Amino acid sequence: MNEDKKIDDLLSMDTKDIDQKTFKKIKHGMNMNFVKRMLVYTLIVALVLAGAYFGINKLKELTSYNPVNEKIEGYYNVFGDEEDSIDRQDFQMLVSAYISVANPGVVYVPLFGDGSYTNLGSGNYEYYGKYISYLDRINYGESEDIIEVSNRRIQLNTMFHVYQFYSKDKQITDEDNYPQLSENEIAKQHEALKKDIDNLPESAQVDISISFDKSMSFDQFVTYKQGILADVDVQYIATNIRDINTLGFSPLYFPQVCSTSYPGLCGDVVYTEEGLKEVYASSLKLLKDHSEFLQRAINYPYVIDVINDEVDKLKNDETKIYGIRLVVDKQTALKLLQDENTYYMQVFDAKFSPLQK
């Protein structure tokens, strides 16, 4: 027993423990240390996340479709004004070109300059302009229409009438999906239309489409225009009807782009076979050369094939004109309704006088 005690004394170490009061201080210190660490970690994580967020956004912007990057090749300024070329927005001109080709009855009046668009970030943009109809010759008010651009899609937010043109002699393919009109239907519709137009005042202006009895070549069309429409402006010439869509061009409202690559889009149109072909060819080429824009702007993917077909047809002199859209007075409307070249006529809108806003 005595030896046990002695050996215990020999082996004993002078150790002491921490009391409760000291522990509380230690614990407080540990907690503070923990809080500090957590703050540092949180700050680091926040910085990393913020960096990643901005990095991804930046990357997205770099890799996304950016309408500001759209450039029209060979552009030159006819007035030699440098500021004008800085302010020009090629994307706005493309929208205008597309509307003039694929949306009969609608004109896009873009806003140019610094305020013409807003970059919303992450590859999203808003472009400003105004859609007007053929009857609204003057653009009143603010440019309140918005074109929304995202990486995948360009939302044009435009409205247009479907089934504007019909054709008797167009070969209907399986993909085509528009109703054929019976003789009876046409006769009834003409009768009703004649009555309606008769009831209009003499000063009335009517926005109409004429579907030709037989499709015309450019040459035939120029002769036709010089006859019954000698004093009338044709707003739209329909060269392809497919499904609810129409493709064609406007000899009045094409975008004024002065470019060596698209000579048909600068200045006034020369009303000859060659002059009209030049406008149409330049409009189609301008769209075809901007495939990124086109793929996002078109709701119906087959329209891209139709545009490509039209380019070939124009080259091979195979383009046919199926109809026109125009604004005429009452008497001209009645004359056109009775004309032998008219297969079908539609009235989209009318106003009582050219002075009516």
Partner 1 sequence: MENRWLEILYHTYHQRLYLFALSLAKDEASAEDLVSETFIKLGVSNLKSEKEIEAWLFRVLKNQFIDTYRKNHRILDEGQYQVEWLVDPYDATKKYIKDEQKRWLYRKIYTLSDKERNVMLLSLVSQLDDVEIAQLLKISLDHIRSIRYRVKQKLIAYAKEEEML
Alpha carbon distances (Å) from 249 to 104, 143, 242, 265, 322: 8, 24, 15, 11, 12
Element (H, E) at 285: helix 273-288
Residue 148: CB partners within 8 Å, gap ≥ 6? 124, 125, 126, 154, 155, 157
> By C-beta, is 15 or 199 nearer to partner 1?
15
Per DSSP, 265 falls in state: G
Closest CA to 143 of 198, 89, 186: 89
Coil, strand or helix at 270: coil
Alpha-helical (H) ranges within 205-269 are 218-227
> By C-beta, is 39 or 50 nearer to partner 1?
39
In whole angstroms, how close is the CB of 46 to partner 1 at the nearest point?
A: 20
Cβ-based burial of 222 (10 A; exposed 0-12, middle 13-18, buried ≥19): middle
In whole angstroms, how close is the CB of 48 to partner 1 at the nearest point?
A: 21
Q: Which of 34, 53, 54, 352 binds partner 1 (CB under 8 A)?
A: 34
> By C-beta, is 33 or 177 nearer to partner 1?
33
Q: Which of 1, 17, 202, 231 binds partner 1 (CB under 8 A)?
A: 17
User: Rule CB under 8 A: is residue 199 a binding residue for partner 1?
Assistant: no
User: Rule CB under 8 A: is residue 44 a binding residue for partner 1?
Assistant: no
Q: Which of 16, 141, 182, 230 binds partner 1 (CB under 8 A)?
A: 16
Closest CA to 54 of 125, 121, 148: 121
In whole angstroms, how close is the CB of 24 to partner 1 at the nearest point?
A: 8
User: Rule CB under 8 A: is residue 47 a binding residue for partner 1?
Assistant: no
Considering only the stretches 11-19, 151-159, 288-296, 309-317, report the one whose residues sit in contact with partner 1 under the rule CB under 8 A.
Answer: 11-19
Residue 96: CB partners within 8 Å, gap ≥ 6? 108, 109, 110, 254, 255
User: Rule CB under 8 A: is residue 1 a binding residue for partner 1?
Assistant: no
Q: Which of 15, 180, 184, 316 binds partner 1 (CB under 8 A)?
A: 15
User: Rule CB under 8 A: is residue 27 a binding residue for partner 1?
Assistant: yes
Residue 56: CB partners within 8 Å, gap ≥ 6? none
In whole angstroms, how close is the CB of 291 to partner 1 at the nearest point?
A: 58
In whole angstroms, how close is the CB of 44 to partner 1 at the nearest point?
A: 16
User: Rule CB under 8 A: is residue 354 a binding residue for partner 1?
Assistant: no
> By C-beta, is 20 or 184 nearer to partner 1?
20
Considering only the stretches 17-25, 112-120, 159-167, 273-281, report the one whose residues sit in contact with partner 1 under the rule CB under 8 A.
Answer: 17-25
Structure tokens at 327: 């604004």
Using CB under 8 A as the binding criterion, the count of chain residues that bind partner 1 stands at 25
Considering only the stretches 19-27, 236-244, 253-261, 310-318, report the one whose residues sit in contact with partner 1 under the rule CB under 8 A.
Answer: 19-27
> By C-beta, is 21 or 357 nearer to partner 1?
21
> By C-beta, is 30 or 59 nearer to partner 1?
30
Closest CA to 327 of 226, 234, 256, 188: 234
- As a dihedral over the C-alpha atoms of residue 114, residue 267, residue 317, residue 336, rounded to 10 degrees, the angle is 100
In whole angstroms, how close is the CB of 35 to partner 1 at the nearest point?
A: 11
Residue with tokens 């048909």: 264
> By C-beta, is 24 or 71 nearer to partner 1?
24
Closest CA to 235 of 131, 94, 92, 100: 100
Structure tokens at 84: 């004008």
Coil, strand or helix at 59: helix
- Other CB atoms within a 10 A radius of the CB of residue 139 amount to 13
Query: For binding to partner 1 (CB under 8 A), which residues are involved?
Result: 3-4, 6-7, 10-13, 15-20, 22-23, 25-30, 33-34, 37
